[in-house]
A and B are shown apart, each in its own frame.
Chain A
Amino acid sequence: MMIQVSVNNEIKSIAPATLLSDALQDWGYGDSKIAVAINQEFVPRSTYTERALSNNDQIDIVRPVGGG
């Protein structure tokens, strides 16, 4: 039984309780310098390996903008 989450508005199926760190690796963001918000709240980077994803989580991958 898989759960569904949205990643930048794209629906993805993953195993229940997948860790955020593993999911990011699977989705190709393993080495990217990005910030991740779940349900409109950024997840502290130090907790990526503890944060388990839930059904219907809305995940936003935010790329840094540095221009001025």
Chain B
Amino acid sequence: MNDEQLLRYSRQIMLPDVDIDGQEKLLAARVLIIGLGGLGSPVAMYLAAAGIGHLVLADFDTVDLTNLQRQIAHTSARIGVNKAVSAARSLRELNPDIVLDCIETILDAENLAEQINHADVVVDCTDNFATRFAINAVCVAAKVPLVSGAAIRLEGQVAVFDARTESSPCYRCLYEEDSDDATCAANGVLAPLVGIIGSMQALEAIKLICGFGTGLTGRLLLLDARHMQWREMKLPKDQQCPVCGTP
């Protein structure tokens, strides 16, 4: 690390859990963020600011006026711009010290597998179940940890699935495929809720890379923002899971 990096990251380097060693791990890490919307915005901004050395931003959608109420990596001037490209512009201003790659097309199965295989951590910030299950299956096969967040209305959920650990459950242990999509466009979502869930995803990604603390693997946190109540449920692996179970 050079002097400017030591200064830029000094407030987290001074944490014994991070230290120089942890910051070097962050700078050496490659994180794939899929979806640069409500969750992906704070995830990308915090991970860029914290000095994740290489961020891959994937989103095929473009910025719309209705996104700006909560998708804080984008700006009014960038309506119509691809979301990965728009987010990268904000991140570049936050931190010129990191590598940013944008994927502006829909990730087909082949591209998804290639990107996940090259990632140290995948952060799922997508808005539909089909993509969530596809990401999960590749993360299990590639043994890459997955930080999963979701939010709608005033409800949020966050969990970590770490396929490097034999006993870890996967997203498919929790939910069945063909679940009905409830979109923010049809159901609404309150802005700071996605900030809370996205911030937790970024925090868990940093912990996974540095390797400190107790991760969220094997637990699901559920937030009821209307009453500001968190619940925690244990999530065991389903031995018969069609994705991660033993056949």
Hey, which bits of chain A sit against chain B, CB under 8 A?
A: 33, 35, 37, 40-42, 44-47, 60, 62, 64-68
> Contact between A66 and B234 (Cβ–Cβ < 8 Å)?
no
Which of A33, A37, A65 lies in contact with B233, CB distance below 8 A? A37
Residue of A nearest to B245 (CB): A46
**Residue count of chain B within 8 Å CB distance of chain A:** 47
> In the complex where A44-B173, A46-B239 touch, is A68 in contact with B37 (Cβ < 8 A)?
yes
> Contact between A65 and B157 (Cβ–Cβ < 8 Å)?
yes
In whole angstroms, what is the CA distance A68 to B183 when docked? Answer: 9
Which of B152, B178, B245 lies in contact with A33, CB distance below 8 A? B178
- Complex contacts, A65 vs chain B, CB 8 Å: 150-152, 155-157, 182
Say yes or no: is B240 at the interface (Cβ < 8 Å to chain A): yes
14 examples of A-B residue contacts, CB within 8 angstroms: A35-B174, A40-B232, A44-B239, A45-B238, A62-B222, A64-B179, A66-B127, A66-B152, A67-B183, A68-B37, A68-B124, A68-B125, A68-B127, A68-B194
Which of A40, A47, A60, A64 lies in contact with B175, CB distance below 8 A? A64
Residue of B nearest to A46 (CB): B240
Hey, which bits of chain B sit against chain A, CB under 8 A?
A: 35, 37-40, 124-129, 132, 149-152, 155-157, 173-176, 178-184, 187, 189, 194, 220, 222, 231-241, 245
In whole angstroms, what is the CA distance A33 to B127 when docked? Answer: 17
> Contact between A67 and B187 (Cβ–Cβ < 8 Å)?
yes
- Complex contacts, B126 vs chain A, CB 8 Å: 66, 68
- Complex contacts, B180 vs chain A, CB 8 Å: 33
